[in-house]
Structure 1
Amino acid sequence: MPTLDVREIPPPERHPKIHDTFAEMDSGEVLEIVNDHEPKPLFYEMQAEVEAFDADAYEAEREGDAKFVARFPKK
Structure 2
Amino acid sequence: MPATTLDLRETPPAERHAKIHDSFEALSAGETLRIINDHEPKPLFYELQAEVEAFDAANYQCEQDGPQKYIADLPKQ
RMSD (Å) for aligned C-alpha atoms: 0.4
Residue from 29, 32, 35 that aligns with 1:30: 32
Matched residue, 2:61? 59
* Structure 2 gap segments, 5+ residues each: none
- 1:13-52 equivalent positions in 2, closer than 5 A: 13-52=15-54
Q: State the alpha-carbon separation in 2 of the partners of residues 32 and 24 from structure 1.
A: 13
Considering fraction of residues, name the structure with more helix.
1
State the TM-score, normalizing by the size of structure 2. Answer: 0.96
Offset of residue 38 of structure 1: 0.6
State the TM-score, normalizing by the size of structure 1. Answer: 0.98
Alpha-carbon deviations, 1:39-62, whole Å to 9, x = none? 000000000000000000000000
Q: State the alpha-carbon separation in 1 of the partners of residues 68 and 37 from structure 2.
A: 8
Kindly report structure 1 stretches of 4+ aligned residues shifted beyond 6 Å: none
How many pairs does the alignment contain?
75
